[in-house]
Amino acid sequence: MADAIVEFLLVNLKELLLYHVDLISGVKDQVESLHKELSLMKAFLKDSREKRNESEYVRESVRQITAVAYKAEDIIDTFVVNEASKKRRGVKKMIPGFGNKNLLNLAKDIESIKTTVKEIYDKKMCGIESLQNGEPSRRSARQKREPFVEDENVVGFDEEARTIIDRLTEGSEQLEIVSVVGMGGLGKTTLARKVYSDPRIEYHFYLRAWTYVSQEYSRREVFLGILESLNLNFDQMYKMSDEKLAEELCKHLRNNKYLIVIDDVWTKEAWDDLRRAFPKTKLGSRILLTSRNTEVAKLADPYSHPHHLRFLTEEESWELLCRKVFGRGSCPSELENLGKIIATKCCGLPLAIVVISGLLIKKDKNRDWWRKVAESVSSYVAKDPKQCMDVLALSYRHLPEHLKICFLYFGVFPEDYEIPVWKLLRLWAAEGFIQETEHEDLEDTAEDYLEDLVDRNLVLVGKRRANGRIKTCRIHDMLRDLCLREGKDDKFLQVIKSSEQNPFLSTPFENDCRRLCIHSKILEFISSKPSYPYVRSFLCFATEEMDLPRRDTSSIYEAFELLRVLDLRPICFPLFPKELDHLVHLRFIVLFGQFKKIPSQISSLWNLQTLIVRTSSRDLDIEANIWKMKQFRHLYVTGLSRLSGPLAQTRRDNEDPFVRSNIKTISTILPDSCTENVLARTPGLKKLGIRGRLAKLMEIRGGSSLFDNLSKLGKLETLKLLNDTYPEPPAHCVVPGLPQHYKFPPNLKKLTLSDTLLDWGHMSTLGVLPNLEVLKLKDNAFEGSHWKPLDGGFRLLKVLQIGKTNLVRWDALGHHFPKLQSVVLKHCTSLVAIPSGLGEVSVLQNMELYWPTKTAVVSARVIHQQKLQLQSKQQQVNNLFKLVIYPPDC
């Protein structure tokens, strides 16, 4: 955590020195010096990472660095707020040393911090040297305790075990590596033991051996353990080097069909250390590998897909809890309902069920005790860290530093919360967790981080997009509790979730945390006049929207003057809060209210990256000048929103000062706003939403149209065109047609149309868009009774969604959609049949029909049977074709 805190502070200081030196002119030298001292601390923190778990002295020193970094951050940020306030009021700066108290105090504090940092750094160097010369760096593998597995308590693994056994005993004669992956506590070792001791495995493999690797391992001890497991003991082997042991093991395995179980491999490097000892013979040998990291499994055998161990069902969870608590007996009827609640709240994690079962036994099956446990299962599990939380914490501690802080951030979201990935990535960026590189955008780097956490089985994928990227994600409740536990230690985050009547009138919560999350009674919290001077993020989560009284509007800004992230999604403001411009550190804003404009004052938020504004008003004027905001990246607004280009067009040395290559999202704006003055200044734009009378966008004046400006957006991937003509119906404001295909953005991958009422003949234009992967035709996008696609179109289309339409006949063959994976039809109440040719598309994975005709259902079921029969012949067990029909009785 200290690494990330120092890194973020260094970036802040660098930005101040580069772009806002006018605010710190009186203490510029001290800030530069602090940057230098903290850079040395950063180097020490990197050097000391491996020592922190071994030395309390190093851990204490890291805690001191964290405190120093926090203090420096608070001083600098507070100073900037004060100076920005003076600048806003037109107060002239005073010369340092002549009464400017803020500057003088800051200089003194910086000098004090520098002294502290230097003392810590000097001690640290001594500490590291003593560790290197005296303390051992890792324990012997023989000293580690292997996980204990109770075979009689195996529940829910019968089908899983059969699948693994089939993969081990069937297939190629080449050496294959079968991997079982999943989060800690899910039962990977239990499953491997069940498979290893199965009679079919004992019969099939002449040689079998088991070795346990874990985070800290000795290559030598692993090889010795396998040799001993194979009863290949001989006196000389204990004197051999690692390489000789590997050669000896390889020699004994070469002429036999063998099964080696390598349990709990954490890193790619560990596998690379071990792999050469296992000969690639053609005798049907197998290696069964378990890991928390999917990337390890993929490296071990790129051609063998990892087996992702699933969570237990509610029925299996209840069965396991009963076995642990009652043995061969049955659960008393008065405890059954409570027991099932407890089992369900363990969220399918066997380790959590085992731990909670031990707690239930202690109170001799007392109903009151079971009720208490049922009310807060996860907190009771956390009270027994040695059995559960420490097992899960191993995954966290093994993370590289840049992923630790991203993982802990999942603690801000409520339990079972489906997290939109686009929002998560922007929050990470705003928090400073992601550093932009020369060759990759912030969001692309953040997405890589998320994929890494998924591969390590710390984050669960909710939904994926058509291109395979993650759309939503979530985290297991037990891992969320781990985030809260670890995050609290470093004052990283605090979650307030209270069911009391007035929980905030005299709040007992610490006011020096950095992130504050309110999950309930939000208005009561705000009306209590809170004071959290060091909070950088204030996030609110609630299931219902609520109106904020005007008298409480100022409470937010008075309580959190150093905010970077402000998410007040469930709160409805009566007016746009103009006081936001006081919070000059803001990077991420979510607001909802009865807004008619985004005021110009927002332009002064020079750090702002993401602005999300939902309004109940139909029209929204964006008066804020985003062209002045050098960090600005994403604009999400509702309503018919008008965005103007920069007022001035001053050019120096042929360079436009208002070009903002870092702006990635503008959604949604009026067609009138799609001028060259706007779009020519956003060459990096990836997502654009346009809402209003689209005829104006297509209308040709002077030989060109506003739509022509879109062709210059070379990086645009997502485009929404929503024909909003209220109060007139769309039929009275018809879109005359689509522009020629070469006028569309050249790299467009996703296109959404709504209420455009185009003739199906215009689909030929969309069909030749070279990179189109997703086409969503919302309600009334196209009209007409017949659609026959032309040959050669939609070469890359993966997802096709059609909303309300009067389409009757759709004639299509497989070659019209060669890459189509998903078809979704909603309210196509006139469509007679789904084209049978879609059954010929080999990659088609799912079809969803909502309120279809009965004949369309019949044709869809024929395609379903056709796909399943084909997949059965090909022995395809993954990604079986799915058909969804709603309502199900259609």
pLDDT higher than 80, residue 44: no
Report d(CA 338, CA 321) in Å as an integer: 12
Report d(CA 192, CA 346) in Å as an integer: 22
Report d(CA 667, CA 622) in Å as an integer: 12
Q: 3-state secondary structure string, 15-56?
A: HHHHHCCCCCHHHHHHHHHHHHHHHHHHHHHHHCHHHCCCCH
pLDDT the model gives residue 299: 92
Report d(CA 750, CA 224) in Å as an integer: 56
Q: What is the mean pLDDT of residues 796-821?
A: 95
Report d(CA 346, CA 366) in Å as an integer: 20
- Count the Cβ atoms, other than its own, within 10 Å of residue 439: 7
Beta-ladder partners of 546: 571
Per-chain mean pLDDT for the chain: 85
CA 373 to chain centre: 31
Q: What is the mean pLDDT of residues 600-612?
A: 94
3-class DSSP state of 108 = helix
- Domains of the chain in start order, with CATH, are 2-134 (no CATH), 142-308 (3.40.50.300), 314-382 (1.10.8), 399-489 (1.10.10.10)
Report d(CA 167, CA 198) in Å as an integer: 14
* H-type alpha helices, 170-241: 188-196, 199-204, 219-229
Q: The whole model's pTM is what?
A: 0.84
Q: Which residue has the higher pLDDT, 212 or 785?
A: 785
pLDDT the model gives residue 537: 94
Across 331-335, 480-484, 837-841, which has the greatest mean pLDDT? 837-841
Contact 177, 287 (CB under 8 A): yes
pLDDT higher than 90, residue 823: yes
Query: pLDDT band for position 97 (50/70/90)?
Result: very low
Query: pLDDT band for position 234 (50/70/90)?
Result: low
Q: At what angle do helices 367-375 and 333-345 cross, to 10 degrees?
A: 20
**Stretch (H or E) spanning 472:** strand 470-474
- Count the Cβ atoms, other than its own, within 10 Å of residue 20: 16
Report d(CA 735, CA 873) in Å as an integer: 48
Report d(CA 439, CA 643) in Å as an integer: 29
Terminal C-alpha separation, the chain? 55
Residues 833, 836, 840: CA angle, nearest 5 degrees: 155
pLDDT tens-digit series, residues 253-296: 998 999 999 999 998 888 988 988 999 989 999 999 999 999 99
Report d(CA 95, CA 102) in Å as an integer: 11
Q: Which residue in the block uniquely carries the two structure tokens 């000098």?
A: 111
Q: Output the DSSP codes for 822-861.
A: EEEEES-TT-----GGGGG-TT--EEEEES--HHHHHHHH
3-class DSSP state of 281 = coil
Lowest mean pLDDT among 75-89, 91-105, 773-787, 788-802: 91-105
CA 759 to chain centre: 40
Contact 315, 191 (CB under 8 A): no
Report d(CA 771, CA 749) in Å as an integer: 5
pLDDT higher than 90, residue 715: yes
| Closest to 787 measured CA to CA, from 762, 760, 754 | 760
Q: Which two tokens stand for residue 808?
A: 């009757």
Exposure letters 678-713 (e unless 16+ CB within 10 A, then b): bbebbebbbbbbbbbbbebbbeeeeeebbbbbbbeb
Q: Which residue has the higher pLDDT, 532 or 588?
A: 588
Report d(CA 250, CA 277) in Å as an integer: 5
| Closest to 828 measured CA to CA, from 885, 756, 888 | 885
pLDDT the model gives residue 99: 34
Report d(CA 168, CA 160) in Å as an integer: 13
Q: What is the mean pLDDT of residues 439-447?
A: 89
Q: What are phi and psi of 534, to 5 degrees?
A: -105, 0
Q: Output the DSSP codes for 614-653.
A: EESSSEEEE-S-GGG-TT--EEEE-SEEEE---S----BT
Contact 548, 523 (CB under 8 A): yes
Tell me the CB-side half-sphere exposure of residue 805, using CA atoms within 13 A: 29
Q: Which residue has the higher pLDDT, 464 or 64?
A: 464
